[in-house]
Structure 1
Amino acid sequence: MPFAEIRGRQIYYEIHGQGPTVVLLHHGFSSLNMWKGVYPALVEAGYRVVLYDRRGYGRSERGPDFEDFYLSGTFCQENCQDLKQLSHELNLGRFHMVGQCEGGVIAVHYAADFPDQVVSITTSSTLCYSHVTMAEFNAAKFPKAFHELDAQVRDKLLLWIGEEHAESLYEMARTKGGAYGSDKFDIRPLLPLVQCPALVLYPDRSALFEVEQAVTFYRSLKNGELAVLPKCGHNTYDQQPELYIRHVLDFLNRVTYENANLMDFSMTCLAPSPPQR
């Protein structure tokens, strides 16, 4: 299995297909396994897809200070640094990003911090802001302890995160606010810094985030688009997979085509003029 040593830890990754690169960023209770129903369509459409388990998820190493890292105020920045080094190790060049929920937060931070490396971002079911602290938010949204969860939900978390750490990660998020700790969450100040094209995908009936968040998210972007998926809950990729993939591919194809045309135009402008006779 392919691993890359990223800042002293073993990070698991997979690469599928050939073409323009798309990096998929999983959500906060998951691993790259969540993308198994999505990435084949991207490969078939002519993209090179890079999936990886972020630090402490799936098959990637945690490190002894994982809890401090997970509950710290630098969680997003640390994840961005990991992705930057992984991109360098794998020689990814410029790439698209598709992020689900917390993966979308990482994508926004990365696009704002490293604009020269990002072609586009797609975020799906990603929180824009909270009215209460994330500790309060998660306590309200996830009232059941791990052992009280429905068997189907618990089994999915065990599959995604791994049997060793699924319960501890879930409980840290549920009781302590997880990556965003005791503060209110607000990504709005960061969104105007995202220069690349950005697609905001949102479900119309998420149990976690109200759909009105999508409009604020979209309107805070300089180069944004918005698509709302009907009759869809939080896990958009799972509940409306065909529509989800259709929106993502339409966006990726348009951005890729526009970038290719821009590159052709630039090369034409920079080409030396033919000699005068």
Structure 2
Amino acid sequence: MPTLKINNLDTYYEISGEGETVVLLHNGFSCGMMWEEVAPMLVEGGFRVLVYDRRGYGRSDGGADFADHYVSMTFRRESMAALAELLDHLKIDRVHLVGQCEGGVVGADYAVDYPDRVRSLVAASTLCHSLISMEEFNRRKLPPTFDDLDPKLQKKYLRWHGLKRGRIFYDICARGGGCYGQTGDFDLRPTLSRVTVPTLVMYPDRGYFFDVEQGVAFYRHLSKGELLVFPKCGHNIFEHYPQLYARQVMAFINRH
């Protein structure tokens, strides 16, 4: 299992294929396994694909203080910094970033801090701004504990994060909205206005978590933005339309 030490913690990653590098950034509840259908299609399309698990997700160590780290004010910043360190370790210079939900936040933050190292950005189902805190948002949208999850989702969590950690991981993530729950209303718009690379916003037309208007707002705050709305689609576009997801990512990258 390939790992690198970042902040003295093992970070799991996989690289496959040849060509320009595409980094796949998982959402805030799963891990790199979510890309199992999409990643091979990008490899077949002529790209080198890097998938990794952020700190405490999936096969990457979280450390004994992960629960505190998750709700800390530095969580978001450290997520982006860890990506930069991973790419430095792997000696990868310029990349295309593809982020699903919270992965889109990591991608946008990285594109702002390292514009010369990003060729393009794709953000799918990523929240633009919220009128309520993420803590309140989670209370409205998420089952309060692992035991309240649908059995199918329970199985996914245990597969993603392991039999020992899956239950605990969900309860940590669902409890307080992470670092976003500590800062009041979430607003990505100031960051988006500083993104200078070509950016594709992909959004579902009937997502459970975020309305399609969030995708429009995201797009409106980009200087080089494009917007693609998926019809009859829920939050996880990569599950509803994996082939179309991959094709649209590749078409966008090839345009830029």
Q: Normalising to structure 1: TM-score of the pair?
A: 0.90
Opposite residue 133 of structure 1, the aligned amino acid is S
RMSD: 1.0
Preserved CA contact (<8 Å) 2:29 2:173: no
State the distance in 2 between where 1:207 and 1:118 align: 30
State the distance in 2 between where 1:200 and 1:229 align: 11
Opposite residue 187 of structure 1, the aligned amino acid is L
1:205-250, Cα deviation, whole Å (9 max, x unpaired): 0000000011110010011100000000000000111221121111
Preserved CA contact (<8 Å) 2:144 2:175: no
C-alpha displacement at 1:142, in angstroms? Answer: 0.6
Runs of 4+ in 1 over 6 A off after TM superposition: none
1:100-131, Cα deviation, whole Å (9 max, x unpaired): 00101100111011111111110001000111
- Counting only pairs closer than 5 Å after superposition, residues 54-93 of structure 1 correspond to structure 2 as 54-93=54-93
Q: Give secondary structure in 2 for the equivalent of 1:190.
A: helix
Q: Give secondary structure in 1 for the equivalent of 2:193.
A: helix
Match in the other structure for 2:185: 184
C-alpha displacement at 1:180, in angstroms? Answer: 1.1
- Counting only pairs closer than 5 Å after superposition, residues 103-118 of structure 1 correspond to structure 2 as 103-118=103-118
State the distance in 2 between where 1:121 and 1:173 align: 26
C-alpha displacement at 1:144, in angstroms? Answer: 4.1
Match in the other structure for 1:53: 53
Percent identity over paired residues: 51
Preserved CA contact (<8 Å) 1:29 1:161: no
Match in the other structure for 2:251: 250
State the distance in 1 between where 2:39 and 2:70 align: 27
> After the TM superposition, which of the residue ranges 143-152 and 209-218 deviates more from structure 2?
143-152
Preserved CA contact (<8 Å) 2:144 2:171: no
Q: Normalising to structure 2: TM-score of the pair?
A: 0.97
C-alpha displacement at 1:56, in angstroms? Answer: 0.4
1:122-154, Cα deviation, whole Å (9 max, x unpaired): 000100011111000001001342112111011
State the distance in 1 between where 2:162 and 2:255 align: 37
Q: Unmatched 5+ residue regions in structure 1?
A: 256-277
Instruction: Say whether 1:156 aligns with 2:156.
Output: yes
State the distance in 2 between where 1:180 and 1:76 align: 8
State the distance in 1 between where 2:80 and 2:229 align: 27
Aligned residues: 255
Q: Give secondary structure in 2 for the equivalent of 1:168.
A: helix
Preserved CA contact (<8 Å) 2:96 2:119: yes
Q: Give secondary structure in 2 for the equivalent of 1:193.
A: coil
State the distance in 1 between where 2:160 and 2:143 align: 21
Opposite residue 228 of structure 1, the aligned amino acid is V
Question: Which structure is larger by alpha-carbon Rg, 1 or 2?
Answer: 1
State the distance in 2 between where 1:28 and 1:235 align: 12
Preserved CA contact (<8 Å) 2:192 2:218: yes
1:36-87, Cα deviation, whole Å (9 max, x unpaired): 1001111011100000011101111111221121101221110111111110
Q: Structure 2 vs 1, CA of residues 144 and 66 (structure 1 numbering), >3 Å: closer, same or farther?
A: closer
Opposite residue 105 of structure 2, the aligned amino acid is V
- Counting only pairs closer than 5 Å after superposition, residues 179-258 of structure 1 correspond to structure 2 as 179-182=179-182, 183-255=184-256
State the distance in 1 between where 2:90 and 2:111 align: 18
Instruction: Say whether 1:44 aligns with 2:44.
Output: yes
Q: Unmatched 5+ residue regions in structure 2?
A: none
Opposite residue 81 of structure 1, the aligned amino acid is A
Q: Give secondary structure in 2 for the equivalent of 1:76.
A: helix
Q: Give secondary structure in 2 for the equivalent of 1:46.
A: coil
Preserved CA contact (<8 Å) 1:138 1:173: no
Match in the other structure for 2:32: 32
State the distance in 2 between where 1:184 and 1:74 align: 16
State the distance in 2 between where 1:78 and 1:115 align: 18
State the distance in 2 between where 1:180 and 1:174 align: 12
Match in the other structure for 1:12: 12
Preserved CA contact (<8 Å) 1:26 1:100: yes
Match in the other structure for 1:147: 147
